[in-house]
Amino acid sequence: MPASSATMTAWHRPPPPLQARISRSRSRSTSENSSRKCARGTLLSADEVDTALLQLPRADGPLLLAAAHVHHLITETDLARTIGETWAMAEYPDRQLGHDVWRILFAVAGYTHDGLPVPRPEKQLRLFRGEAAERRGDWSWTDDQDTARRYAAGGLRGRPAGRVWTALVEPGRLLARNTVREESEYVVDTKGLRIAEAALA
């Protein structure tokens, strides 16, 4: 998509360390084939996309998807199939890619629920986020108050203690629904969203 490529010039090619990691896979033949295709700018198969994502550190998954999209190495179907889990497993996805880049990738992928294209919810959702105040505008939200409380308590994978935040989210802001980590997650574009501290019992 021309608009996407123009906007994502910062991702014109994967960083060298990432290019090196992409070539490592459980199957040497699959890895070498993927590397040759990347070098030629040839579309990757679904198996090759999965192999590359599995062999990278989870934090590098977003970089791989961004680079593959810019270079036209991944189909929209495979992007839609993998973007939700890649986001969920990256631990700090907002820090791996800027929101402008994520916005493009999710727009191309369309709304998905655990990797399957589905219609967006038709009504606003009351969602929650447990986080320190300075990161309340990040994009991982949940409709489960207990999950938000757990994150607000701090200590999860080194997170500091924070508060539970809430927002009434319009359907157009919902980018994906992920349950792979059993956290009832929604990915939410928070630009301009009104976020308040939740008053929980």
Mean pLDDT of the chain: 84
53-100 pLDDT, tens digit each: 999 999 999 999 999 999 999 999 999 999 999 999 998 999 999 999
Q: How far is CA 9 from the centre of its chain?
A: 19
CA distance 149 to 142: 11
Of 86, 91, 94, the C-alpha closest to 115 is 86
Query: pTM to 2 decimals?
Result: 0.80
148, 164 contact by CB (below 8 A): yes
pLDDT tens-digit readout, 177-196: 999 888 999 999 999 999 99
Amino acid, single-letter form, for residue 132: A
- Torsion angle in degrees (nearest 10) through CA of 178, 183, 186, 190: -140
Q: Sorting pLDDT into bands at 50, 70 and 90, what band is 20?
A: very low
pLDDT at residue 29 greater than cutoff 70: no
The share of the chain scoring above pLDDT 70, in percent, equals 77
Torsion of CA 8, 176, 18, 155, to 10 degrees: 120
Per-residue tokens: 90:
């990256």
Residue ranges in the chain assigned as alpha helix (H)? 2-7, 16-22, 28-40, 46-55, 61-70, 76-89, 93-96, 99-109, 145-152
Cα Rg of the chain (Å, integer) = 17
